[in-house]
Structure 1
Amino acid sequence: MLELQIDGRTSGHPILGAITARVAEGDRICLLGPSGVGKTTLLNAIAGLDRRLGERMIKRSSELRVGYLFQEHRLLPWRSVRQNLAMVGASNDEIDRLLAEVGLAEVAEALPDQLSLGMARRAALARSLAIKPDLLLLDEPFASLDPDRAAELRSLITRLLDAHPRMAMICVTHDARDADQLANRLWYLEGAPAELQWDQPLTAVSSASASRISEQLRRLSV
């Protein structure tokens, strides 16, 4: 599906260094690391939004569809929730289904500024799903939400992933609970420039690695 062979030093990238990894169907990856290390930068590169890293360093299937839930919902404020989804090609029936899946069936005609932050985040998630993505990118989707709303959105994303088992996900987070609930694989980014320090499927983590991962997750949750 996706192969990363990034060498930021040779490309003159100011943030990313050596990052080698593969993403396959069904991978649920939580991308961890210190604040400001370059997690969002890497996500933008994977989405094709960083032109400094070309096809040689980020190889993707020609048919790969990528949905991206940004930190800000980026819904057009002058268009209704329904209209925002229609802009990415969703039919009325698809919009009704998606909004029902994310619990927003009653606010289809509302404008984004009439929604709470959590509702706007769910509307943006529905828009990301409207393109029927093979790869779903989530950039700190639970940031600024209170614990109850974060837990609701985390459970919703888990249900959506379970309903689409071939869809891969990469989620940037600082919270160990996100990794515990969402991930079957962990990436940890560290350094300047940022390098992928480890890439571990949860089912294949050695006791030594598990100890290190637990410590990193504990630090990220503080």
Structure 2
Amino acid sequence: MSELKIEKVWKEYGDQIVLEDVSLTVASRAFVALVGPSGCGKSTFLRMLLGQEQPTRGTILLDGAPLPLEPGADRGVVFQRYSVFPHLTALGNVLLGKELAASRYKARLFGQARRSAIDEARALLAEVGLAGAESKYPAQLSGGMQQRLALAQALIIRPKVLLLDEPFGALDPGIRAEIHTLMKRLWHETQMTVVMVTHDMREAFTLATRVVAFERRRDRPEEKERYGATITKDISIWPPRIAGTASIFGPDRDGPVSSLGHRRDDLAPSGDF
């Protein structure tokens, strides 16, 4: 399970209130898109879910337990700027997550454990369309390939929650469409909950099960420090999108597939959302 529960959360920096009285429940395996004007606190909210920042007031629960005070393996993150290590190959970038999880200080695996981790990393690279690029460095990859690598890097640790901070905003439209297809398939086939910040409304309504809007109710210059943003709209997508199943009206062409990589006709015949 991977349910998030945000209860009466406030975030303040000194005298400036960024977020006020934010309450939200994100069901396990939901895909929630956060939208709103620049500077309204969406990325700050995401950093609190990651554990990079702490709420000034209120609580954040993951599966009923308080969220740890620092980032952990239960939460993966992909940023707009490719968060991959330039000195490591594609395989090395993905393998690092397994090595850090197994040996926090040495970051090395040996023997059968290392061979198994390499096989898992290679399989995940193939899943995101990077088969054959294992030995390449990030500088040798296109922007779309680097973002696929960042996704694989986040997914190798099998997070309960995947956090996306405008991860596709810098991509060309054609590449972005390919990444959207990949993202929908990965969401269908894994057990994770996804929370994504985006400025692209079409992207939000294409990918998400819910679209949550942040906005300042009082936005005059003299009010910006005294009043923060809060949730003003919470829109559930219709027809409903449920991870692992097809839409009841327009089955998802990018939906779940079998373990052999073939689409399961009983769940997702050809079509679209």
TM-score normalized with structure 1 length = 0.83
In structure 2, the CA distance between the partners of 1:152 and 1:22, relative to structure 1 (3 Å rule), is same
User: Secondary structure at the residue paired with 2:19?
Assistant: coil
In structure 2, the CA distance between the partners of 1:3 and 1:77, relative to structure 1 (3 Å rule), is same
Of 92, 98, 111, the residue aligned with 1:89 is 98
1:126 has 2:152 as partner: yes
Where do 5+ consecutive residues of structure 1 fail to align?
206-222
Of 151, 169, 178, the residue aligned with 1:152 is 178
Where do 5+ consecutive residues of structure 2 fail to align?
68-72, 100-116, 217-223, 241-273
Report the counterpart of residue 172 of structure 1 in structure 2: 197
Counterparts of 1:79 and 1:9, CA distance in 2: 38
Per the TM alignment, residue 43 of structure 1 is displaced from its structure 2 partner at its CA by 0.6
Per the TM alignment, residue 153 of structure 1 is displaced from its structure 2 partner at its CA by 0.4
2:79–2:167 CA contact under 8 A, matched in 1? yes
1:32 has 2:35 as partner: yes
Per the TM alignment, residue 12 of structure 1 is displaced from its structure 2 partner at its CA by 6.2
Counterparts of 2:25 and 2:185, CA distance in 1: 24
Per the TM alignment, residue 39 of structure 1 is displaced from its structure 2 partner at its CA by 1.1
User: Secondary structure at the residue paired with 2:98?
Assistant: coil
Counterparts of 1:106 and 1:157, CA distance in 2: 20
Of 49, 52, 63, the residue aligned with 2:52 is 49
Report the counterpart of residue 194 of structure 1 in structure 2: 229
Counterparts of 2:212 and 2:189, CA distance in 1: 24
| Percent of aligned pairs sharing the same letter | 35
Q: Deviations over 1:20-63 (max 9, x none)?
A: 00111121111110122121111111111103547x52122359
Question: Which structure carries more helix by proportion?
Answer: 1
Larger Rg: 2
Per the TM alignment, residue 9 of structure 1 is displaced from its structure 2 partner at its CA by 5.6
Q: Deviations over 1:53-102 (max 9, x none)?
A: 47x52122359811101111121111111111111116111111110111
Q: Give the letter for the 2:61 counterpart.
A: K
Work out which structure has the larger RCO, using CA pairs closer than 8 Å and 6 or more positions apart in sequence: 1
Per the TM alignment, residue 135 of structure 1 is displaced from its structure 2 partner at its CA by 1.0
1:69–1:137 CA contact under 8 A, matched in 2? yes
Count of matched residue positions in the alignment of Structure 1 and Structure 2: 203
Per the TM alignment, residue 14 of structure 1 is displaced from its structure 2 partner at its CA by 3.9
Q: Deviations over 1:133-169 (max 9, x none)?
A: 11111111211111100100011100111112x3211
1:58 has 2:60 as partner: yes
TM-score normalized with structure 2 length = 0.69
1:13–1:52 CA contact under 8 A, matched in 2? no
Report the counterpart of residue 69 of structure 1 in structure 2: 78
Q: Give the letter for the 1:26 counterpart.
A: R
Q: Give the letter for the 2:212 counterpart.
A: W
User: Secondary structure at the residue paired with 1:106?
Assistant: coil
